[in-house]
Amino acid sequence: MHCHLLIPSFFPLPQWLDAGLLRDMRLPALETLLARGKEYPLQDGGMEAWLCRAFGVEKQDDWPVAAFTLLADGGSPGSDFWLQAEPVHLQLQRERMVLVDAANLAISSEEAASLTAALNSHFAQDGLSFFPSRPECWHLRLAHPARLETRPLEAVIGRNIRNFLPGGQDGVNWHRIINEIQMLLYTHPVNEAREQRGAPMVNSIWPWGGGILADKPSAPYTRIWADDALACGLAAAAKIPRARVPATAEDWLQTAAPGQHLVILDQLHQAALYGDFPRWRDNLLRLEADWFVPLRQALARGKITQLTLHVFSDEKARTFSVVRTFLWKIWRHRKPLKNYT
């Protein structure tokens, strides 16, 4: 049995090291796996790019993330062109417009329905149809494909959006559309009510991940264990069984059958996105106890034949692959995690 662990926001950013967050951390199982494993360079582009490549999905102008996440949410992408249309709050900070994502907005189903209904009424003649697949996740169907090059929402959180606005052949037109959306949402009764009760307004959307649903993806894994919408959508399109990630590796080992398994451990991700460095450290220590220690032991006992870690930081990706015999390469001494940054 081969276990692939996919871990976003794994390696800390350089400024984190200045805070001494890795000082005195004890990660013997993880450090052993990294030291004894064979490292492979990966193409850059972030987790979305990695997942699409793994399933044999080709890049269009963008990676067609929206069509697959819609599939994961129970929608039917058909042959239409789809964009993620993430509801966000834009906050003016001095001369910067900074984005806050829906995870911090507590949007209700009623609010999402009312806001998207207003957008659909306004943009009907432009061939834009907004669908609140979930209150915090909206999809946008376009009557005609757009030639856009976009950045994932997570790349923009807490940053000046002016540096990340859509580009490509239709980029300028979409700057206009975004401005219209902002003006419409700003005066919407939902936002007036939110402002009165001190909640941040849902005053814009972030479009990204545009494309059409590709042909049936390849099926590189026996089973997918994930909550990530793109991974779940790719699994659904490839007809691969999928399940939620168990709490610990010991729970997972009791359930997993022989084969190739992809497990996405995203416990570090939200803390990294919002700069919550102490929580990132605490979650990494929990991953050590709950996942790396049991999996190292399972590898040593032969319960799994290979363990591969695919780890990400921003849009950089690295792979470390370990088989049982590699554990005996004791001359490969463990190194602190900061040595890998």
At residue 130, the pLDDT reads 98
At residue 336, the pLDDT reads 77
At residue 159, the pLDDT reads 84
13 CB contacts (<8 Å, ≥6 apart)? 272, 313, 314
Position of tokens 């419409």?
184
At residue 71, the pLDDT reads 95
Classify residue 160 by its DSSP letter.
B
Q: What is the pLDDT of residues 22-43, one digit of tens each?
A: 677 889 999 999 999 998 877 7
Low-confidence stretches of the chain (pLDDT beneath 70): 12-22, 314-315, 341
Burial class (CB in 10 A: 0-12, 13-18, 19+), 254: exposed
Q: How far is CA 283 from CA 29, 52, 172, in A?
A: 15, 27, 41
Tell how far CA 18 is from the center of its chain: 26
CA distance 208 to 84: 5
Domain ranges of the chain: 2-56+218-340, 65-212
Q: Three-state DSSP class for 27?
A: coil
Phi, psi of 234 (to 5 degrees): -65, -40
Q: What is the pLDDT of residues 302-340, one digit of tens each?
A: 999 999 999 987 667 889 999 988 878 877 787 877 777
At residue 16, the pLDDT reads 56
Closest CA to 16 of 290, 317, 264, 284: 284
At residue 335, the pLDDT reads 80
Closest CA to 188 of 136, 132, 113: 113
At residue 11, the pLDDT reads 76
| C-alpha dihedral (47, 112, 170, 273), degrees to nearest 10 | -30
Task: Copy the structure tokens of residue 340.
Answer: 């890998």
CA distance 190 to 193: 5
Burial class (CB in 10 A: 0-12, 13-18, 19+), 79: exposed
Task: Copy the structure tokens of residue 291.
Answer: 């996942």
CATH superfamily of 2-56+218-340: Alkaline Phosphatase, subunit A (3.40.720.10)
CA distance 150 to 84: 10
